[in-house]
Amino acid sequence: MKRHKTGLRKGSTGPGGDLSAEEVKKDFVPRHVAVIMDGNGRWASKRKLPRLAGHKAGSNAIRRTIEIATEIGVEYLTLYTFSTENWKRPKDEVSGLMSLFEEQLAKETDELHGQGVRIRVLGRMAELPDSTRKAFTEAIEKTKGNSRLNLNLALNYSGRAEIVDAANALCEAIRSGKETPDITEEMFARYVYTSGIPDPELLIRTSGELRVSNFLLWQIAYSELWITEKLWPDFAKDDFLQAVAEYKQRKRRFGGLVEV
C-alpha cells in the first residue's frame, strides 16, 4: 500500500507535471474506481470554519472527480457518501448534510444527465428523510437510461450491513425455491447492493488514514489501494489521474504467481 504526501509528487500532473488525461487513458483504465472521501471536517477545522463548510467544499471535489473519471473512460465510480455510522454525528451536521444532498441533486442532476451519467444509490435508502429520499429517487429515475458513467453513491451504507442484507435476501430466495441451498460466491454476489457491477479494481482514500472504514467489504477483496494525505476538498483531477496511472503500473496477481 502506498501513501502519498500532499502536494505534487514525481510524475503527477499540475504545474510542471507530465501526465494528461489523454496519456492516462491510453491502452486501458480501471472499469471501476471506488473512493473513500475523507477529510471534510478536518479541512474545515484547519480554516476555523463549521464542518458543513467542509462538506460543501467536498461537493466541488465530487464534481471534479466525476468529470475526470468520465473524461478518461471509467465506467463505474463509487463514492462513499454517507455511512450508517454517520448518523451518530451532531444532529445539525446530519440535517445539514441531508439538505446539502438535496441542494446538490437539484443543482447537478440535469447536467449529469446531459453528460450521460447514471446515478445509483447503494445502501438503505428507505431510512433517509422523506425529502432526501425523494430527491435521490427522482435523480435515479431521470438518469436510469444513461450508461457513459455509472455513479454509485454509497448512502446510509455499511459494508457489514450490506452483507447482512444480502444474506437475508439470499435466505429468502432459498426458502422460496428461487435458489438452491448450495450457496456459492457467485450466488451470494447476486444479492449484494452492487449486483451486476464489477468489483472495483482501484480504491482511493483521501486524508491519509490507513483503513477501509466498513466500505465495500465484499467487493474490495483484490482492489488496489491508493492513499493520499490530501483532504477530500483538496483532491484534484491531477490526483485522480496519478492514482489511475500508478494503478496501471502495478502487477495484479490475485493470489497467484502469474501476472494477470
Active-site residue numbers? 38, 86
First to last CA, the chain: 19
Q: Is 51 annotated as a binding residue?
A: yes
41 known member of a binding site = yes
- Label residue 5 exposed, middle or buried (CB < 10 Å: 0-12, 13-18, 19+): exposed
Is 43 one of the annotated binding-site residues?
A: yes
For residue 157, the cross-strand partners are 83
Residue 84 labelled as part of a binding site: yes
User: In whole angstroms, what is the distance from residue 72 CA to residue 24 CA?
Assistant: 7
Taking phi over 0 as left and psi of -120 to 50 as alpha, with beta for the rest, 91 belongs to alpha
| Residue 42 assigned as binding residue | yes
- Please indicate if the annotation marks 87 as binding a ligand: yes
- Which DSSP state fits 86? G
Report whether 89 belongs to an annotated binding site.
yes
Ligand-binding site membership of 226 (annotated): no
228 is in an annotated binding site: no
- Percent helix, strand and coil across the chain, each rounded to 5? 45, 15, 40
> How far from 180 is each of 88, 168, 193, 218, CA to CA, in Å?
39, 14, 20, 21
User: Is residue 39 part of an annotated ligand binding site?
Assistant: yes
* Annotated binding residue 63: no
CB-facing half-sphere around the CA of 11: CA atoms within 13 A: 11
What residues are designated binding site for Mg(2+)? 38, 224
What residues are designated binding site? 38-43, 51, 55, 83-85, 87, 89, 205, 211-213, 224
What residues are designated binding site for substrate? 39-43, 51, 55, 83-85, 87, 89, 205, 211-213
